[in-house]
């Protein structure tokens, strides 16, 4: 199927909004993505015609709602090529999915003397839960450093992994855009006897994902970054690992039986889904998966590759030595998430001037403070592109940036 | 919609480009640190209080033009002033930033000087945190100095 960005844009009503009479230039999709009518309509339709509790009531409406809720799970499983549908666990968000792994698998498997390997480009969600458990259990955290062009420095990887029990890393950096060699990293983890945990928040929305080709053990990502609704994250894990893990949250739905003396757990996936789930959001995510599948993830990646090349070239051509773009200059090694510094103008001030032109970027530390310290700054401007961005968005970014430069020139 | 000139008044950019009282002080000066978790801005306040007077103040850290200029203006405004006056100014400034901390309405009779220029920040709610960061950090430093 051919890819037509104008057709795609027409699917996203917010992109037609005018703010103060000017069009919206949305370049913050690494933060959260906009929503197509297909998702909005699916959720609205479900609420208007089919909403009911799932997995607990016997009437027709509830049975149909359960079918739709579980149908969305099957769509997600197919989207990432998960071997089994019940290996897909709904969570509140990707952060909770990572916390679930650390609390459940980590508590059962990590103690003093053990080691976990992370990288210098992780989001706080893949750092802080490990630090919290490390403070209780006394295991050590080792860090994979970065090269000067923002790639993982794998020269000492086997030493770092030696004796480690887990290697948890991002498939794509939310700051640098770096796409990591996920399959290679999973293989290295397994060779050392460690499990491989992949934070795929920035990867699943932007490129084809195959958890079996990666040979990962756990993969986490969020609905809201892949044109689905907020309030829903996904954990995929190998059945054998999930089965062996203790439950995470306790409550309704996750039990098989409860007596005064104790409880027994439900089967997967319910074991990890305590309480009423984000049912409407799951329906929305199912629609998001259908939408992205119809467009084709190869097409999404190809479009974003083109946008990356155009954005990198345009920024460099127009601003030369005034701009410092972090991360790799090779679009084949990165996604369309571009962090930069512009002269000595503070990112927050740049984003303020850009906002006057409705150019929406993120300014700040992007929840990756260890990486920011490595870059030697406490904030960057980040422009991130998705399937609905166009070359004219790149022009709008450059024009607004040039205005910011004029404004802050002495 | 408020324009950029409402926010970035000339005097603000002047303080940003030529910050006053920039640097650090060695102990026995007290030190406090403020972070804006939203954007990563950091402010350090070094303070010497002698006989109830803000004898010296230095500002460290890094941040956007609003947070840095606010810190610079603040340091100039409180240096050499009695601690009580500094505290009253913190209260008044936060009130101007529409932050209601309860307590009495601040006395607004005295001129604010350069600080007046930060009034436009209120029209940009996201930036209020930037402007207030150094003032909260100063309040903390005054508390430490009073211990």
- Asked whether residue A218 falls in the same domain as residue A303, the answer is no
Do residues A200 and A256 both lie within one domain?
Answer: yes
Numbered residues of chain B with Cβ closer than 8 Å to any chain A Cβ:
1, 3-4, 7-8, 13, 17, 38-42, 62-66, 68, 124, 127, 130
CA dihedral sign of residues B71, B64, A174, A32? positive
Please report where in the chains the tokens 């009282």 appear, as a residue.
Answer: B21
DSSP three-state, residue B20: coil
Interface of A with B in 363-382 (CB under 8 A): 363-365, 369, 372, 378-379
Residue of B nearest to A376 (CA): B62
Q: Does one domain contain both A45 and A87?
A: yes
For the segment A184-219, what is each residue's pLDDT rounded down to a tens digit? 999 999 999 999 999 999 999 999 999 999 999 999
- The answer to whether the CB of B54 falls within 8 A of the CB of B79 is yes
Is residue A53 domain-shared with residue A20, that is, in the same domain? no
Q: d(Cα B34, Cα B45) in Å, to the nearest integer? A: 8
CA distance A34 to A21: 20
- First-to-final CA distance of chain B: 46
- Quick: pLDDT tens for A357-366: 999 999 988 8
Q: What was the pLDDT predicted at B102?
A: 76
pLDDT greater than 70 at residue A393: yes
**Domains of chain B as residue ranges with CATH:** 4-146 (3.90.1010.10)
| Cβ separation B41–A363 shorter than 8 A | no
Q: Token digits for A152?
A: 């993982």
pLDDT of the residue at A67: 96
At residue B1, the pLDDT reads: 64
pLDDT-above-70 percentage for chain A = 100
Q: Is the dihedral of CA A164, A168, A172, A176 positive or negative?
A: negative
Give the contacts of A35 (CB within 8 A, at least 6 positions apart).
Answer: A12, A14, A227, A228, A229, A284, A288
Question: What percent of chain B has a predicted confidence (pLDDT) above 90?
Answer: 61
Q: Residue B106: pLDDT above 90?
A: no
Where in the sequence numbering do the catalytic residues of A fall? 367
Which residue intervals of A245-346 are DSSP H helices? 279-295, 297-319
CB B49 within 8 A of CB B145: yes
The pLDDT score that the predictor gives to residue B71 is 96
Which of these, B65, B57, B8, B63, lies nearest to B30 by C-alpha position?
A: B57
CA distances to A46, B84, B136 from B32, rounded to whole Å, are 53, 19, 10
Pull the structure tokens for residue A227.
């044109």
Q: Which of A277, A294, A311 is the last residue of a domain?
A: A294
Strand partners, A220: A199, A235
Count the Cβ atoms, other than its own, within 10 Å of residue A225. 26
Whether residue B8 has pLDDT greater than 60: yes
Q: How far is A20 from chain B (nearest CA, A)?
A: 7
Bridge partners for B41 per DSSP: B36
- Domain count for chain A: 2
Distance from CA of A84 to the nearest CA of B (A): 39
Last residue of a domain, one of A267, A294, A321: A294
pLDDT at A58: 87
* A23, two tokens: 């069009």
Structural domain boundaries, residue A160: 40-294
Question: Are A221 and A76 spatial neighbours (Cβ–Cβ below 8 Å)?
Answer: no
Domain termination residue (choose one: A253, A274, A294): A294
Q: For residue B145, what are the CA distances in angstroms to A104, A141, B24, B30, B73?
A: 45, 38, 16, 6, 21
Number of CB atoms found within 10 A of residue A213's CB: 12
- Among left, alpha and beta (phi > 0; psi -120 to 50; other), residue A163 is left
Q: Dump pLDDT digits (tens) for B26-54.
A: 999 999 999 987 777 899 999 999 999 99
CB B70 within 8 A of CB B37: no
Q: Examine the pLDDT at B5 and tell me if it is beyond 90.
A: no
Confidence (pLDDT) at A1: 59
DSSP string, A205-235: TTS---HHHHT-SEEEEESTTTTS-SS-EEE
Maximum separation of any 2 CA atoms in chain B, in Å: 48
For residue B3, which residues of chain A lie inside 8 Å, CB to CB?
Answer: 356
Location of structure tokens 């936060």: B94
Give pLDDT tens digits for A307-358: 999 999 999 999 999 999 999 999 999 999 999 999 989 999 999 999 999 9
Do residues A252 and A311 both lie within one domain? no
Dump pLDDT digits (tens) for A32-88: 999 999 999 999 999 999 999 998 888 999 999 999 999 999 999 999 999 999 999
The pLDDT of residue B99: 86
CB-CB under 8 Å, B4 with A353: yes
- Pick from A12-26, A175-189, B105-119: least confident: B105-119
Q: Same domain, yes or no, for A222 and A312?
A: no
Q: Nearest chain B Cα to A351, which residue? A: B64
- Give A144's strand partners: A119
Say if residue A281 is in the same domain as residue A302: no
Size of the A and B interface in Cβ pairs below 8 Å: 48
Compute the nearest-CA separation of A128 from chain B (Å).
15
Higher pLDDT, A203 or A372: A203
Q: Does residue A167 sit in the same domain as residue A314?
A: no
**3-class SS at A143?**
strand
Q: At what angle do helices A279-295 and A297-319 cross, to 10 degrees?
A: 80
Tell me the per-residue pLDDT of A18-45, one tens digit each, with 9 for 90 and over.
998 999 999 999 999 999 999 999 999 9
Mutation target among A18, A28, A339, A346 for the B interface, most CBs of B within 10 A? A346
Average model confidence (pLDDT) across chain B: 90
For residue B79, which phi and psi values (nearest 5 degrees)? -65, 125
**Residue A246: DSSP 8-state:** P
CATH number at residue A24: 3.90.1150.10
Residue A22 forms beta bridges with which residues?
Answer: A19
Q: Which helix (H) or strand (E) holds A198?
A: strand A195-199
CATH number at residue A119: 3.40.640.10
Q: Is A348 on the interface with B (CB under 8 A)?
A: yes
A245 shares a domain with A153: yes
Instruction: Please give the average per-residue pLDDT across B89-111, as a whole number.
Output: 84
Instruction: Count Cβ neighbours within 10 Å for each residue of B45-76 and write b for 16 or more, e otherwise.
Output: bbbbbeeeebebbbbbbebbbbbbbbbbbbbb
Residue A328 DSSP label:
-
Q: Does the CA dihedral A330-A333-A335-A337 come out positive or negative?
A: negative
pLDDT (0 to 100) of residue B36: 86
Q: Are residues A10 and A158 in the same domain?
A: no
CA distance B96 to chain A (A): 21
Same domain (yes/no): A203, A258: yes
Task: Indicate the helix (H) or strand (E) that contains A404.
Answer: helix A391-407
Cα–Cα distance, A65 to A53 (Å, whole number): 7
Is the predicted pLDDT of residue A410 greater than 60, yes or no? no
Q: How many Cβ atoms from other residues are within 10 Å of residue A370's Cβ?
A: 15
How large is the average pLDDT for residues A92-109? Answer: 98
Mean predicted lDDT score pLDDT of chain A:
96
The pLDDT of residue A296: 98
Mean pLDDT for the stretch of residues A141-150: 96
Phi and psi (nearest 5°) for A280? -65, -40
Chain A stretch 13-42, residues whose beta carbon is closer than 8 A to a beta carbon of chain B: 20
In a mutational test of the B interface, the residue from A361, A363, A378 whose CB has the highest number of chain B CBs within 10 Å is: A378
Phi, psi of A203 (to 5 degrees): -100, -50
pLDDT per position as a tens digit, A217-241: 999 999 999 999 999 999 999 999 9
The DSSP result for A100-115, as a single string, is: HIIIIIIHHH--TT-E
Q: Are residues A148 and A132 in the same domain?
A: yes
What tokens does B93 get?
A: 């400034």
ipTM of the complex: 0.84
Q: Hey, what's the torsion of the CAs at B21, B23, B25, B30, to 10 degrees?
A: 80
């Amino acid at each position: 199927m051919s890819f037509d960005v104008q057709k795609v844009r027409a699917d996203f009503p917010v992109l037609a909004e005018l703010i103060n009479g000017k069009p919206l230039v949305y370049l913050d999709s690494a933060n959260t993505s906009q929503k197509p009518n297909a998702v909005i309509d699916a959720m609205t339709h479900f609420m208007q015609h089919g909403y009911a509790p799932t997995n607990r009531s016997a009437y027709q409406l509830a049975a149909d709602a359960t079918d739709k809720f579980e149908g969305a799970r099957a769509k997600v499983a197919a989207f990432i090529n998960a071997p089994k549908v019940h290996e897909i666990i709904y969570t509140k968000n990707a952060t909770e999915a990572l916390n679930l792994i650390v609390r459940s698998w980590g508590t059962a498997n990590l103690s003093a003397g053990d080691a976990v390997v992370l990288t210098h480009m992780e989001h706080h969600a893949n750092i802080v839960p490990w630090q919290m458990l490390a403070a209780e259990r006394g295991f050590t955290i080792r860090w994979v450093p970065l090269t000067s062009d923002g790639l993982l420095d794998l020269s000492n990887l086997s030493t770092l992994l030696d004796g480690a029990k887990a290697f948890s890393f991002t498939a794509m950096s939310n700051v640098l855009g770096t796409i990591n060699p996920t399959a290679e990293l999973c293989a290295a983890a397994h060779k050392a006897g460690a499990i491989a945990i992949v934070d795929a928040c920035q990867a699943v929305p932007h490129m084809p994902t195959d958890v079996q080709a990666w040979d990962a053990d756990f993969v986490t990502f969020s609905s809201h970054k892949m044109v689905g609704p907020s309030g829903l994250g996904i954990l995929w894990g190998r059945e054998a690992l999930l089965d062996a893990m203790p439950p995470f949250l306790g409550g309704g739905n996750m039990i098989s039986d409860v007596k005064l003396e104790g409880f027994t757990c439900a089967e997967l996936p319910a074991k990890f889904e305590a309480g009423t789930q984000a049912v409407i959001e799951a329906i929305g995510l199912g629609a998001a998966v259908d939408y992205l599948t119809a467009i084709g993830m190869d097409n999404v990646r190809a479009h974003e590759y083109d946008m990356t090349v155009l954005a990198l070239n345009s920024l460099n051509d127009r601003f030369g030595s005034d701009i410092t773009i972090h991360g790799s200059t090779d679009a084949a090694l990165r996604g369309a998430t571009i962090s930069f510094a512009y002269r000595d103008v503070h990112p927050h001030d740049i984003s303020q001037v850009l906002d006057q032109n409705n150019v929406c970027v993120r300014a700040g530390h992007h929840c990756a403070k260890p990486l920011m310290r490595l870059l030697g700054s406490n904030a960057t401007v980040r422009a991130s592109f998705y399937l609905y961005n166009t070359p004219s968005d790149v022009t709008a970014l450059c024009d607004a940036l040039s205005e910011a430069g004029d404004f802050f020139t002495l | 919609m408020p324009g950029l000139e409402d926010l970035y008044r000339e005097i603000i950019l002047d303080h940003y480009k030529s910050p006053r009282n920039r640097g650090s002080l060695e102990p026995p000066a007290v030190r406090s640190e403020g972070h804006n978790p939203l954007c990563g801005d950091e402010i350090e306040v070094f303070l010497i209080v002698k006989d109830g007077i803000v004898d010296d103040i230095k500002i460290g850290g890094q941040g956007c033009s609003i947070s840095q200029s606010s810190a610079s203006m603040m340091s100039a405004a409180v240096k050499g002033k009695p601690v009580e006056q500094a505290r009253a100014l913190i209260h008044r400034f936060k009130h101007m930033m529409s932050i209601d901390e309860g307590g009495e309405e601040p006395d607004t009779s005295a001129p604010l000087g350069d600080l007046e220029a930060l009034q436009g920040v209120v029209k940009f709610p996201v930036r209020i945190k930037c402007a207030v960061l150094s003032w909260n950090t100063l309040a903390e430093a005054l508390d430490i100095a009073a211990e």
